[in-house]
Amino acid sequence: MSSAAWASGHRGPLTVNDDFAVLDDPFEQEAFTAVVDEDDPRRESVLVVQGMFCAACADAVEAALDGVPGVDAAQVNAASRRLRVRWNPAYTTLSALARRVGDHGYRLLPLQQALSLDERWRESRLALWRLFVAGFCMMQVMMFAWPAYVADPGDIPPDIDQLLRWASWVLSVPVVFFASGPFFAQAWADLRRRRIGMDTPVALGIAVTFLASSAATFDPSGPWGHEVWFDSLTMFVAFLLGGRYLEARLRERTAGALDALMNRLPAAVVRELADGRTETISARRLRVGDVVRVAAGEAFPGDGVLLDQGATVDEALLTGESRACTRSRGEGVIAGSLNLGGVVRVRVDRLGADTRFAQIVRLMEQAATDKPRLAVLADRIAAPFLVLVMLAAFAAGWAWWQVDPSRALAIAVAVLIVTCPCALSLATPAAMLASAGALARRGVLVRRLQAFEAMAGVNAVVFDKTGTLTQDRLELAGVRLRSGAERDAVLAQAAALARDSLHPVARAIAAAATADPTVRWHSLQERAGQGVEARDAQGRCWRLGSALFAGAMPEHDADGPRSYLADEQGWLATFEFREAVREDARDAVNRLRAQGIRTWVLSGDRASAARRVAQAVGVDEVIAEASPEHKLTQLQALQARGWRVAMVGDGLNDGPVLAWAEASFAIGRAAPLAQARSDVVVQSGRLLDVVDTIERARLTLRVVRQNLAWAAAYNAVCVPLALIGWMPPWLAGLGMALSSLLVIANAWRLNADR
Please state whether beta strands 570-581 and 562-567 pair in parallel, antiparallel, or not at all (unpaired): antiparallel
For the chain, the distance separating the N- and C-terminal CA atoms, rounded to the nearest angstrom, is 38
Buried/exposed 68-92: b ≥16 CB within 10 Å, e otherwise: beebeebbbbbbbbbbbbbbeeeeb
- Alpha carbons 387 and 438: distance in angstroms, whole number: 37
Bridge partners for 75 per DSSP? 84
- Alpha carbons 558 and 563: distance in angstroms, whole number: 11
DSSP for 170-190 reads HHHHHIIIIITHHHHHHHHHH
- Alpha carbons 227 and 741: distance in angstroms, whole number: 32
- Alpha carbons 283 and 377: distance in angstroms, whole number: 42
Angle at 295 between CA 292 and CA 301, to 5 degrees: 45
**Helix or strand run (H / E) with residue 208:** helix 199-218
- Alpha carbons 114 and 342: distance in angstroms, whole number: 30
Please state whether beta strands 645-649 and 522-527 pair in parallel, antiparallel, or not at all (unpaired): unpaired
- Alpha carbons 295 and 305: distance in angstroms, whole number: 16
- Alpha carbons 45 and 98: distance in angstroms, whole number: 12
DSSP state of 582: P
Within 10 Å of residue 221's Cβ, how many Cβ atoms? 8
- Alpha carbons 52 and 106: distance in angstroms, whole number: 7
* Collapsed DSSP state (helix, strand, coil) of residue 621: strand
Catalytic annotation, pick one of 59, 303, 464, 567: 464
Q: Is the dihedral of CA 120, 335, 94, 9 positive or negative?
A: positive
Looking at the chain, how many residues does it have?
A: 754
Assess contact for 433 and 306: CB atoms under 8 A.
no
Residues 6 or more apart whose Cβ sits within 8 Å of residue 369: 46, 75, 76, 77, 80, 82, 83, 84
Assess contact for 419 and 389: CB atoms under 8 A.
yes
Does 464 qualify as catalytic in the annotation?
Answer: yes
Angle between helix 487-498 and helix 504-512 axes, rounded to 10 deg: 140
Query: What is the phi/psi pair of residue 280, to 5°?
Result: -95, 125
DSSP state of 299: B
**Helix or strand run (H / E) with residue 473:** strand 470-481
Assess contact for 622 and 611: CB atoms under 8 A.
yes
- Alpha carbons 446 and 442: distance in angstroms, whole number: 11
Angle between helix 16-24 and helix 94-102 axes, rounded to 10 deg: 150
Distance of CA 554 to the CA centre of its chain: 53
Catalytic residues, by residue number, are 464
